[in-house]
Amino acid sequence: MTPKFSIRPLEERDLDRVASLAALLWVPSKPEVNRRHFAEHIGRPEAGSTWVALAGECIIGFADCRLRRDYVEGCETSPIAYLEDIYVEPEWRGLGIAAALVRACEAWARECGSLEFASDTDLGNLSSQAFHHALGFTEAARIVHYKKRLDIS
């Protein structure tokens, strides 16, 4: 039997829990900084949208979406809805929760007038790549970023 879960928009009462989950995804990060990040969305859909997955009353995952108006690799329209982050607790993975979170983000994107939905992952994150492909994303590009430290004389 598949455990039951539900998806709903982020609420003020969720901020501490979602900030803690985000700290597991964004290493290093501080929950208080994460909390401020997510608080920006509450009551302001133009700023972005965060969705939470719940098992009963316990938050077990989240997805964070934003509208990007700058260039997004492989996209041709603007604004672009962008899946910034998604996280599901390890013991709840493989049950369709992340897919349900993405569907909620896609519905929000359509309401905002976005014609395209984009995302990214690291080149080495093969499970995330498989997840994206399973949800209908197509690869737009592969990029290697470089950096160089400049000595100040």
Instruction: Report pLDDT digits (tens) over 7-48.
Output: 999 999 999 999 999 999 888 888 888 888 899 878 887 778
| pLDDT for 21 | 94
List, edge to edge, every strand of the sheet that includes 117-118. 6-9, 49-55, 58-68, 80-88, 117-118
Q: Give the chain's domain count.
A: 1
pLDDT digits (tens, 9 = 90+) for 72-101: 999 999 999 999 999 999 999 999 999 999
Please check whether residue 17 lies inside any domain of the structure. yes
pLDDT of residue 2 exceeding 70 = no
State which residues form the domain around 63: 6-134
In this model, does residue 131 exceed pLDDT 70? yes
Q: What CATH number corresponds to the domain at position 27?
A: 3.40.630.30
Residue 60 maps to a domain: yes
Over 70: is that where the pLDDT of 62 sits? yes
